[in-house]
Amino acid sequence: MENKLLLVHTEPDGTLAGPALEALGAALALPGDLTVGLVGAQTAPAANQIAACGAVRFLAVTGDTFAQARYATDAAAAEALCRASGAALVLAPATSRWSRALPGVAFRIGGRIDTHATSVAMVNDVPAVTRWFYRQRMEATLTRSGGPWMVLLDPGCTPRWSGPAGTAHVEEMAVEAQTRTSVTGIREPKSDEQTIRPDAKLLFVAGAGWTKKQSDGAVHVADAERLILGFLRAAQASLGGSKSLVDLSGEGQAVLPFMNHLNQIGQTGSTPRHPKGLSTCCHGEEPHVVGWRFIHQRRAINLDPNCGWARGKADVLYVADAFAVMHRVNELLEAGNPERDLRA
Ligand SMILES: Cc1cc2nc3c(=O)[nH]c(=O)nc-3n(C[C@H](O)[C@H](O)[C@H](O)COP(=O)(O)OP(=O)(O)OC[C@H]3O[C@@H](n4cnc5c(N)ncnc54)[C@H](O)[C@@H]3O)c2cc1C
């Protein structure tokens, strides 16, 4: 096979994050010589971090200009690295930064790009990627010919490369990048605390039931907030929500203020990757459950024994009051009972 290039950008401390190490693992599993192309304010720490990976060449575009995620500078750096490597296959982690810049780079170098790839492997002696279509309902295997082929690999699909650090020989490239945009600061929507944790072992989903009238005829949103946040803190779980729950704020109803549309799981939400999932007060309708495609073990708590989860969508359904169950689970977590520790 012809040469391959791995494109990675560095973190503020100059090292590589998990998605870059996953893409490195995927690149190394393919035949052919590997060139690593690094972009960032600092690149030497990253090159040294993966010095022992077996790459034949390390190319770098380094400097403050390339610290910030910005289309003009990222695309210029990536284009220069692609041209210098002459690689027929270019792999990159599907970070928001590369997802924005690399499709334009593929056009500039006369290549093709596929996004949201979940694996890349040799099939009949040519590289082939897998990716899901129609909101994770169908999986396809694709090959392409002609032009450099760029592939953005979704995080969480491949084991991370790990190995000893060393001292890499890095070839620095001078890249002139024109930009009219300078970043003066970041304004983010207010949020009480970080609830989305892509690396968490457990996805905890809250449904609209948490805000509905309960058996005593009253809503208990304050209790819901305390139980959900208490569990998330103790288990370090990631928080997902149903569309109905995250939409409620738009309807002026009692809501959980720490949730917004970024938490939404499903057809019009996200499809996160976690080993386990626990759904609470959520009916388990198909447009929601399609976002659980990559959750390995699924459990749900619902008062309704006939809810969607009962129809083959969950491995275990607890027909129970989620308020009572989560209250008891939090008690056990606080007591530090290791057998009941959901972090395990
Ligand atoms: C085009 C389209 C796209 C969509 N995309 C998405 C999507 O991306 N994501 C998504 O989530 N939805 C999506 N939906 C909406 C989806 O079909 C459902 O309407 C939604 O998921 C329902 O949310 P829910 O289960 O939280 O609420 P509800 O349907 O109101 O269910 C609440 C559940 O809580 C249970 N409950 C109440 N109190 C308790 C308690 N104390 N203990 C235990 N259980 C309790 C009830 O039994 C009930 O099952 C989409 C719909 C369409 C048409």
Mutate to test the pocket of ligand 1, among 211, 220, 242, 279 (most ligand atoms within 8 A of CB): 242
Handedness of CA 283, 286, 291, 296 (dihedral sign): positive
Ligand 1 binding pocket includes 269 (Cβ within 6 Å): yes
Kindly tell me if the per-residue pLDDT of 86 is higher than 80.
Answer: yes
Q: How far is CA 311 from CA 306, 308, 314, 316, in A?
A: 8, 5, 8, 11
- Average pLDDT value for residue range 147-153: 95
Ligand 1 binding pocket includes 268 (Cβ within 6 Å): yes
Query: What's the pLDDT score for residue 248?
Result: 86
Which residue(s) pair with 139 in the sheet?
132
Return the ligand 1 atom nearest residue 208 CA: 26
Mean pLDDT of the chain: 93
Please tell me the residue having the least CA distance from ligand 1 atom 43: 302
Ligand 1 binding pocket includes 245 (Cβ within 6 Å): yes
Kindly tell me if the per-residue pLDDT of 170 is higher than 90.
Answer: yes
Tell me the pLDDT tens digit for each residue of 226-258. 999 999 999 999 999 999 999 886 666 768 888
Q: Using an 8 Å Cβ cutoff, are 272 and 200 in contact?
A: no
CA 188 to ligand 1 center in whole angstroms: 28
Query: Token digits for 141?
Result: 């295997």
Query: What's the pLDDT score for residue 344?
Result: 47
Ligand 1 binding pocket includes 304 (Cβ within 6 Å): yes
Ligand 1 binding pocket includes 308 (Cβ within 6 Å): no
Confidence of residue 302 (pLDDT cuts 50, 70, 90): very high
CA 255 to ligand 1 center in whole angstroms: 14
Return the ligand 1 atom nearest residue 282 CA: 25
CA 208 to ligand 1 center in whole angstroms: 6
Cα–Cα distance, 203 to 197 (Å, whole number): 9
Ligand 1 binding pocket includes 287 (Cβ within 6 Å): yes
CA 130 to ligand 1 center in whole angstroms: 30
Cα–Cα distance, 182 to 162 (Å, whole number): 36
Confidence of residue 1 (pLDDT cuts 50, 70, 90): low
Ligand 1 binding pocket includes 214 (Cβ within 6 Å): yes
CA 282 to ligand 1 center in whole angstroms: 5
Tell me the pLDDT tens digit for each residue of 24-33. 999 999 999 9
Kindly tell me if the per-residue pLDDT of 189 is higher than 90.
Answer: no
Domains and CATH numbers, the chain: 4-172 (3.40.50.620), 202-340 (3.40.50.1220)
Ligand 1 binding pocket includes 292 (Cβ within 6 Å): no
Return the ligand 1 atom nearest residue 206 CA: 26
Contacts of 124 (CB under 8 A, 6+ apart): none
State the greatest distance between any 2 C-alpha atoms of the chain, in Å, as a whole number. 69
